[in-house]
Amino acid sequence: MVLNGRLTVANIGDSIATLVKKDGSWVQLNSEHTPNRQDERMRIENANGSVFHNRINGELSVSRAFGDYEMKDLVISEPESRSMPITYDDDLLILASDGIHRSYTQDYIVRRINELRRRHMSLGNISEKIVEECLRLEGVSKPCYDNVTLIIVSLAAYLTDYERRSPLNTP
């Protein structure tokens, strides 16, 4: 969500949000909710669950999700969130499901997006192309056949006139 010049990212599950700067650098904004994450594992075990084969009770690979009634005491739907101001240096927000970010490295995704932008492709077409490449296993470092979703958002449109004139956002 973008409101009043601030970007807020909240997540549950195994998707990743990445902030890309205009210089091509990037920052991962969240982490996956998996049972092998130390804090999640402790929470699960404290609720009398177990983790083996990187899954809750050997079954579910995410530790936060909606709708897993059978594991309602072990799988929670409480999101983690992070909020920060959008600055002049911020360029894109990438939202990628595990099928994308487990198949490609973050560096590859950012480089590929920038390469396709130089060809004057729209962000929507870039998302479609990368998803199609992933499904065809083009350049994939490790195939993941789970959910394959990629959303790319330009942050430039969210800077208001006030924020563009702010001394904090001067290039």
Q: Which residues contact 65 (CB under 8 A, 6 or more apart)?
A: 12, 13, 33, 75, 77
**In the chain, how long is the greatest CA-to-CA distance?**
54
Q: Are residues 137 and 143 in contact, defined by beta-carbon separation less than 8 angstroms?
A: yes
**What number of CA atoms fall less than 13 Å from residue 55's CA on the CB side?**
6
pLDDT at 85 over 80: yes
Mind listing the domains of the chain with CATH numbers? 2-31+83-169 (3.60.40.10)
- Would you state the pLDDT for residue 132? 92
Give the number of other Cβ atoms within 10 Å of residue 141's Cβ. Answer: 10
Confidence bin at 19 (pLDDT 50/70/90):
very high
Q: Which of 131, 124, 169 is nearest to 22 (CA)?
A: 169
Query: How far apart (Å, rounded) are the C-alpha atoms in residues 152 and 169?
Result: 22
The tens digit of pLDDT for each residue in 100-148 reads 988 999 999 999 999 999 999 999 999 999 999 998 887 787 777 778 9
Model pTM score:
0.85
